Structure 1
């Protein structure tokens, strides 16, 4: 932790020395490496509002992000196809959208190297006075299935609350060893409770490039990982291989599953095949996060996606005429609460379609509420744009 603080301060100081600070923006695209978190905390310290692109994003998405936030700083990896040569960067120069500073992971000799900036201390003292807690800390990306993801402004206050409350619900402590095999910037992997929750609790985050089971099982054994977070498609792969490699995953105690609908038939296999507890997670980068609790009954855990983090989370389930439906009936999910956002960045037309006059956000999910207050996700209204 001292090293994480030192290295992130090095980078933040170097950026401040170059004139970056509060109100500036950054576009970051890194694979699942420790440097992702060093950069994340460095930019928070410097007050630079970042957008963390997924490593799967290509030139089309990166172009759209750059046009929206016009970053002064770009951090990428030379191993990514977009940055394997200078064609994309040169194209930004041509339209006057080139960031002032470009840092490269796995850099070439002519680049500013990200690792050099991280590892080299700055002699001059830089005062990192706190950014007001209600200001935007960074942009998350919407989970829409078509078009370019929309930008979700997350404040220090709302995100920190979500992380702290999630860490408590999930029972994290200094002994927690979390496998990060999903994309590190994804909201699930970052804050539900994700790496930030584990770091808040004083635990350990173990990185994997992807959820491929054989590599992950080896990492679990080597680092005695006791918690993992996966999407259903990855769980299926793990279930198929677990019997052959059960000795490698003996340390695993908790598997979180979220990000997509998880059939009950698969949910029931998790404790039996992987020999660990299952926790279902239904969350959104826009805010609302639901968990099955660790002491919920098996039936609740296998058949629902949990209930909200906070007693102050407000949920309505409504029909097509926006009338609330009786308990147990399927309807559209609408929510507002202490850590749910107030609108997409620079998207007034879309915001008018997904918020009502009482500031409830309509996520596009079709859900039903059980008698115990848990939510069951049954589908989507349509593909979200």
Structure 2
């Protein structure tokens, strides 16, 4: 078992006196005031200005929109300054945030909106038709609409009775009475949806205590003198609706007073390169696929990396060779982390306090316990592979309105079963070996085979389908589907086109193999593991 090296999180939280995540913003305003908090494109907002606008948005939500503490507010935005205002405003109002991927298709968004019971959504203007298409199957009563350039070219008017423009909501809120959060450490702050092995997305219930504890765990692994609170510039290309970026690049960055440069579209490499040249950045958060793409860009070596202290990698496994290439070309080290949506998310990190050990991710963050168990739940000795279990203050309360699945994911004595197969060595370093679950990790996003298969099988010409993950140099893993057909005229292009109609981009299969029949057990169950092992063998894994 790997146990916490020190018990610091609870004591530090008590010392700070924070009772909600919004208190991080209050503290930041006292410490950093008019220093820049976030920039996006040509726009920058200070900590004081962010707090003021978030407060105005909270007043609007409570007094004008009529939302009450505990109500759910969906946010379906890319990285924008409006996102930061919306989340801190929602937390100030005592609401529960439902982070929603703006790339979701109606098929994917419908379940999340309906399952969470969200009463309102902050949404990008171009996504309004998507929301309208599914609104009748949800509890959404109000759309708060913004555009990419709202901060410097604001729109205030709309002709829809149940719509309000985001900038108008702020204007209205400024005239309304103050609000108090009416929430505490053990109240919900966030419903963060993750995939399920049945293809049904589940909302991980993360409390204010969970998020605040993970922020303190994340910042406690920074060695004194390595960074200067209030004077670092961090480039943040990972989407804030992803739990790693939400906690690390948003909440923790406010806690430390970092100036975060939000990248709205990291696929626009030319634009991101321009941002890297524009700002004197000292920190960067990324993912394996992003590092590969950046290093392949013809202008990569013209970027000034002289101030870059280190890079954080999270959301997907880091390829050791890629990390070595990055360090050789930039002079900066990539520090890897591991976590889960269910753990807010950080569990393990490579830090300045721990030596680098090739093949291992790092050690558990403070106040976090890990152990490896066999199939019967018996703890295994150091060096033996088994399922990784986790216990700590960052572990979720459970899955929203799913008591049976919550019970299944926790052991009788309260350990979270990760479904990951790992090894903990004698020094407490963690290595991940495999996944017990069938989940596929594409550029840091969880993709569950049944989620893909359900969408594929909506095509009447497809008889059977199995989705598996195969190694991919750029995205870590890619999705391959094996299909058998009713309609033999279907080809790979037609199947992928069908997938694009029903799945967000990272869930669309990269490879399609059509077969007469798919392997089955004696009782007729499709043998996914057989096909997965075959696909990996073909890829030379």
Q: Which residue of 2 is the match for residue 376 of structure 1?
A: 431
1:109 Cα deviation (Å)?
3.5
Deviations 1:304-360 (A, max 9, x none): 2111212x3221101223222221122111111111113111122322332111121
1:2 aligned to 2:54? Answer: no
Is the contact made by 1:243 and 1:273 (CA closer than 8 Å) also made in structure 2?
Answer: no
Counterpart CA distance in 1 for 2:134 and 2:261 is 36
1:313 aligned to 2:313? Answer: no
Q: Which residue of 2 is the match for residue 100 of structure 1?
A: 141
Is the contact made by 2:287 and 2:314 (CA closer than 8 Å) also made in structure 1?
Answer: yes
Indicate the structure whose relative CO is greater, using CA pairs within 8 Å and at least 6 residues apart: 2
Is the contact made by 2:314 and 2:337 (CA closer than 8 Å) also made in structure 1?
Answer: yes
Is the contact made by 1:75 and 1:102 (CA closer than 8 Å) also made in structure 2?
Answer: yes
Is the contact made by 2:389 and 2:418 (CA closer than 8 Å) also made in structure 1?
Answer: yes
1:185 Cα deviation (Å)?
1.6
Is the contact made by 1:89 and 1:98 (CA closer than 8 Å) also made in structure 2?
Answer: no
Is the contact made by 1:146 and 1:383 (CA closer than 8 Å) also made in structure 2?
Answer: no
Is the contact made by 1:261 and 1:377 (CA closer than 8 Å) also made in structure 2?
Answer: no
Deviations 1:216-256 (A, max 9, x none): 23212212121111121112112333774343433322111
Counterpart CA distance in 2 for 1:35 and 1:222 is 22
- Structure 2 gap ranges (5+): 1-46, 148-154, 440-447, 449-541
SS in 2 for 1:127: coil
Q: Which residue of 2 is the match for residue 61 of structure 1?
A: 108
In structure 2, relative to structure 1, the CA distance for the partners of 1:235 and 1:336 (3 Å cut) is same
Q: Which residue of 2 is the match for residue 135 of structure 1?
A: 187
Is the contact made by 2:371 and 2:388 (CA closer than 8 Å) also made in structure 1?
Answer: yes
Which of 394, 398, 410 lines up with 1:339 in the alignment?
Answer: 394
Matches within 5 A, 1:96-175: 97-106=138-147, 109-110=158-159, 111-142=163-194, 147-170=199-222, 172=227, 173-175=229-231
Q: Normalising by structure 2, report the TM-score.
A: 0.65
- How many correspondences in the alignment? 375
**Of the two, which has the highest radius of gyration?**
2
1:90 Cα deviation (Å)?
5.5
SS in 2 for 1:249: coil
In structure 2, relative to structure 1, the CA distance for the partners of 1:71 and 1:205 (3 Å cut) is same
Q: Normalising by structure 1, report the TM-score.
A: 0.90
Is the contact made by 1:232 and 1:261 (CA closer than 8 Å) also made in structure 2?
Answer: yes
Matches within 5 A, 1:60-79: 60-79=107-126
- Structure 1 gap ranges (5+): none
Q: Which residue of 1 is the match for residue 475 of structure 2?
A: none
Which of 258, 275, 279 lines up with 1:219 in the alignment?
Answer: 275
In structure 2, relative to structure 1, the CA distance for the partners of 1:123 and 1:263 (3 Å cut) is closer
Q: Which residue of 2 is the match for residue 289 of structure 1?
A: 347
Which of 238, 242, 246 lines up with 2:294 in the alignment?
Answer: 238
Give the superposed CA RMSD: 2.2
1:130 Cα deviation (Å)?
4.2
